Amino acid sequence: MNRDNNDTASLLSIRHLSSEYTSRNYGLFGKKHIKKVLHDINLDIYPGEIFGLVGESGCGKTTLARCILNLTAYQGDIFLDGKNYASRLERARLVQMVFQDPGASLNPVKKIGWLLEEPLVIHRMGTPEERAALVDETLTRVGLDPSYKKRRVTELSGGQKQRICIGRALILKPKLLIADEAVSALDVSVGAQILNLFRDLHESLGLSVLFISHNMNAVEYLCDRVAVMQDGKLSPPAPV
């Protein structure tokens, strides 16, 4: 299905989205459980906007982010730039995500240069020379410098690791970055620096950000609009 949406002004447009998890008890005749997690979600995010999504732990925020990337099954429609992309790879070109624990998403065996180049290789983008130049540019953009490409993950602080994760997301030049509790595991001062990095990237690249957090202070500092999720339902967005 590749139905197009009329509302081409939105970068991300979610219509009547629901999602559920199915599990089974052990055994041949294990009973099937269906747990509804998201109920009739409607949301628009516009180009260049920083949108906050807040709500208690377990209310469904990460599930919504995973639906946007098509990593979790859902009912309803998700339009990106007005199009209903079915493949994960196509969506990943437009939307990238950064997670809470930067250490967990980086392979400790590889050098930083390799880790930054990997998304380009997966998406078959650029020549080796172009990719090397983009790695240098990206390191600078996330507040590090090209000398970091020779280091390994174990030689970096938590904040530096998160900068690398943000770099891996940015190197594909997405239009929307989803930050899922991306500063929650960091010390307050380091978290504040990462918030400022999101703001810089938003200003210099016109990047849109879906900032998911349970920290209202961070949302107030960074976001243009905010919506509250409760038990899988979303409040109408309000200006911050």
Ligand X SMILES: Nc1ncnc2c1ncn2[C@@H]1O[C@H](COP(=O)(O)OP(=O)(O)O)[C@@H](O)[C@H]1O
Q: Note whether 62 binds ligand X by CB under 6 A.
A: yes
Least distance from C-beta 98 to ligand X, angstroms? 14
| Enclosing H/E stretch for 61 | helix 61-68
Give the shortest CB-86-to-ligand X separation in angstroms.
22
55 binds ligand X (CB under 6 A): yes
- From the list 61-69, 86-94, 143-151, 217-225, the region that binds ligand X by CB under 6 A is 61-69
Determine the Cα–Cα distance for residues 36 and 130; give it in Å rounded to an integer. 45
Residue ranges in 63-102 that form contacts with ligand X under rule CB under 6 A:
63
Stretch that binds ligand X, among 53-61, 111-119, 138-146, 162-170 (CB under 6 A): 53-61
Provide the mask over 1-30, with x wherever binding to ligand X is found by CB under 6 A and - wherever it is not: --------------------x-x-------
E strand or H helix that includes residue 201:
helix 188-205
- What is the Cα–Cα distance from 147 to 152, expressed in whole angstroms? 11
Residue 61 or 202: which CB sits closer to Mg ion? 61
Stretch in the footprint of Mg ion (CB under 5 A) among 57-65, 103-111, 145-153, 231-239: 57-65
| Surface-to-core class of residue 163, CB atoms within 10 Å of its CB (0-12 exposed, 13-18 middle, 19+ buried) | buried
Please check whether residue 185 is in contact with residue 101, taking contact to mean a CB–CB distance below 8 angstroms: yes
What mask of x and - would describe binding to ligand X in positions 175 to 194, judged by CB under 6 A? --------------------
The runs of H, that is alpha helices, within 95-187 are 112-122, 128-141, 158-170
Task: Tell me: does residue 62 bind Mg ion (CB under 5 A).
Answer: yes
61 binds ligand X (CB under 6 A): yes
57 near ligand X (CB under 6 A): yes
How would you classify the pairing of strands 75-80 and 12-24? antiparallel
- Residue of 139, 145, 144, 207 whose CA lies nearest to 168: 139
Strand partners, 208: 176
* CB-CB contact of 33 with 23 (8 Å): yes
Residues near Mg ion, by CB under 5 A: 61-62
Residues near ligand X, by CB under 6 A: 21, 23, 35, 37, 55, 57-63
